[in-house]
Structure 1
Amino acid sequence: MKKVSIIIPTYNKLMRLRLALKALEPEVDENVEVIVVFDGCDKVVIDHFHKLNLSYKPIEIINEHNIGRAKARNKGIEAAKGDVVFFLDDDRIVKPGYVKAHLELHEKGYGVVLGQRNQLFMKESDIVNYYEDTTDLFDYCEQNGEIEKYVFGHGATSPIRWMNFFTGNVSVDRKELLDVGCFDEFFTKWGHEDLDLGIRLYLKGVHFGYTTRGNNYHLMHESNFDNKREQSALNLRYMIGKYRKNFFVRTMLRLLYMKQSVFGVRISRDQMAKFEMLSQE
């Protein structure tokens, strides 16, 4: 069986992080390690992390200063011993069978596996309570999760499958990661360091697979509704220059740049209203 490394960068989201780690308990065995990269977190967050009651002991990497998600994940990759590297965010609850569902496709020769991602609105008090008792957690996720729409064309042969490479739920053969140079450390602000890695894996000819069984649930939070237009635009301009010799990729990036320039990033009035309603309860 392939060995697995699950890499989670985190920045001061302790309540969500600890629930994410709790949900991983059924997934962790002698073949699965969890690496948490603290990226400039407050000392009190790390102190509380050390007091968590988990059935396994995560490997921890501590960056005293915030270096950004690209560098943080690369530090995780350096420490990883797994044949397959899973990228997970610190606010994602994985569904039971998550690791197995991804590995089934890796065993069939897929170098990249995209998992289904769901949005989940949960009260802060429930996030705390479910950490103490996870008995009904996954039923709650199933009943309340809303499937995130992928960009059209996430199929294995789609020419735009790289546009669905999101580190909220993706696994990659470690050798393929190392061959393309891991994450580009130019990306220090928000946005698209995962998309960039997906492009390079796609251009290398790595096979992409997609599973609806390797689900996870994104615990929505306030910063999801920030309009990160300037940071996104900076990174997209960099990528347009980086891939200027590939007409198709450059064109798709330009279209994405124009779309976000007009409509912004991650803005949904319905989702914002739902989040605000939960916050007031």
Structure 2
Amino acid sequence: MKISIIIPTYNKPDYLTLTLKSFCLMDFDPNEFEVIVCNDGSECSYDSIGKISYPYSLRILMLQHKGRAAARNAAIQAARGEVIVFNDDDTLAAPEFLSGHWTRHLLCERVVVLGERRQVYGAGRTMHEMMHMASAELLSWTVQRSRQSLFTSQITRKIFQFPISRHWICSLTGNMSLKAATFSEIGGFDEAFAGWGLEDIELGYRLYQGGFFFYYDPDIINYHLEHLRNKSEMFRDTYKNMEYFLSKYGYPKDLEYFRKLYYGHMSLKEYDHCTFQEMDRETEDSYYPLFRINTSQRKDTI
């Protein structure tokens, strides 16, 4: 088995059904990948999903509600693939999604591959209508309604012009892959992160500290279906998780700068300047060959 796709889910069976449909259209041999859905103690029924036939192997893990970190860890333990690809339950994958991730891992052993997640706003169709669309029709409609997100179009691309010591902050599991053996070396997601946010970025920080490289490929695309969120709950969870993140590592300067950037108290230009001036003096030539730039000719960033 080449690839295991891990999809955590919580109370979104309809969105998950649309996501699973998209994996029927992969340009990758369906015998060479599996999808593992880790149901994080959902309070609604997922029975309908188990009644659908898919051309690939689908396994559903029913778990107690312990959060996304614990759900992903359970799926990692069950995975049979050489490469682990993370995707969300409300995110449709483009046909080249898996082949893009797989190809990058063939080129480098110690790499974290990050793709581009586009946003689909204002559905224009009811969930009932979308559920009854054929896979190809659904994907075509999704692509037409999609657009680049602010994070992808203006932040990720800018960060990958910076030295490698910044790339970990783009480690979002909505579109990310690692070799399965990586988790034996650096461990899984930290299950002390509660609720929403930062457990994936903390994993990225550990990967950076462990000497892994990060590769961003804008041609590895999936499509996030926007939906209502409880923002006050998200902000509360993120604040607690940020404090835990920094305290876990003893409040180092790079994480202090990251916190300021994350909360909008520091621009990317200021973040680059501070980390370059104070943290990269001894390693300022440590760039990816594919992303090498002349530091004396850097353009201002947002």
TM interval, short-chain normalised: 0.7 to 0.9
8 Å CA contact 2:86–2:176 kept in 1: the answer is yes
Could you tell me which amino acid in structure 1 is paired with residue 146 of structure 2? G
8 Å CA contact 2:30–2:55 kept in 1: the answer is no
Q: Deviations over 1:208-254 (max 9, x none)?
A: 11112210000111117556221101000111111226432x22233
1:60 aligns with 2:95: no
Describe the SS at the equivalent of 1:45. Answer: coil
1:212 aligns with 2:218: yes
Between stretches 31-40 and 152-161, larger displacement belongs to: 152-161
Name the structure 2 match of 1:235. 241
Structure 1 residue 207: Cα displacement: 1.3
**TM-score, scaled to structure 1:** 0.84
**TM-score, scaled to structure 2:** 0.78
Q: Which runs of 5+ in 2 are unaligned?
A: 266-302
8 Å CA contact 1:83–1:173 kept in 2: the answer is yes
Could you tell me which amino acid in structure 2 is paired with residue 46 of structure 1? Y
Describe the SS at the equivalent of 1:160. Answer: helix
Distance 1:88 1:221 in 2: 16
Structure 1 residue 105: Cα displacement: 1.1
Distance 2:251 2:164 in 1: 20
Structure 1 residue 131: Cα displacement: 3.6
8 Å CA contact 2:194–2:237 kept in 1: the answer is no
1:112 aligns with 2:117: no
Distance 1:5 1:258 in 2: 34
Name the structure 1 match of 2:141. 140
Q: Deviations over 1:118-161 (max 9, x none)?
A: 01025384443344312322322222211122333135943211
Describe the SS at the equivalent of 1:259. Answer: coil
8 Å CA contact 1:236–1:257 kept in 2: the answer is no
Distance 1:215 1:140 in 2: 15
| Cα gap change, 1:245 to 1:11, in 2 (>3 Å) | closer
Q: Which runs of 5+ in 1 are unaligned?
A: 261-281
Name the structure 2 match of 1:200. 206
Describe the SS at the equivalent of 1:30. Answer: helix
Q: Deviations over 1:12-54 (max 9, x none)?
A: 1011100000101133612101000111113x52222222243
Could you tell me which amino acid in structure 2 is paired with residue 119 of structure 1? Q
Q: How do residues 244-259 of structure 1 correspond to structure 2 at under 5 angstroms? A: 244=250, 246-248=252-254, 250-256=255-261, 258-259=263-264
Name the structure 1 match of 2:188. 182
Name the structure 1 match of 2:91. 92
Q: Deviations over 1:75-108 (max 9, x none)?
A: 0000001111011110000001100011111111
Could you tell me which amino acid in structure 2 is paired with residue 101 of structure 1? G
Distance 1:22 1:199 in 2: 33
Greater C-alpha Rg: 2
Describe the SS at the equivalent of 2:172. Answer: coil
Describe the SS at the equivalent of 2:181. Answer: helix
Name the structure 1 match of 2:81. 82
- The root-mean-square deviation of aligned C-alpha atoms, in Å, is 2.3
Match of 1:173 among 179, 197, 203: 179
8 Å CA contact 2:18–2:131 kept in 1: the answer is yes
Describe the SS at the equivalent of 1:34. Answer: strand
Distance 1:15 1:193 in 2: 25
Between stretches 67-76 and 166-175, larger displacement belongs to: 166-175
Distance 2:159 2:230 in 1: 24
Distance 1:142 1:207 in 2: 30
Q: How do residues 39-58 of structure 1 correspond to structure 2 at under 5 angstroms? A: 39-42=40-43, 45-58=45-58
Name the structure 1 match of 2:11. 12
Could you tell me which amino acid in structure 1 is paired with residue 14 of structure 2? M
Distance 1:199 1:18 in 2: 32
Describe the SS at the equivalent of 1:213. Answer: strand
Between stretches 28-37 and 47-56, larger displacement belongs to: 47-56
| Cα gap change, 1:80 to 1:203, in 2 (>3 Å) | same
| Cα gap change, 1:18 to 1:165, in 2 (>3 Å) | same
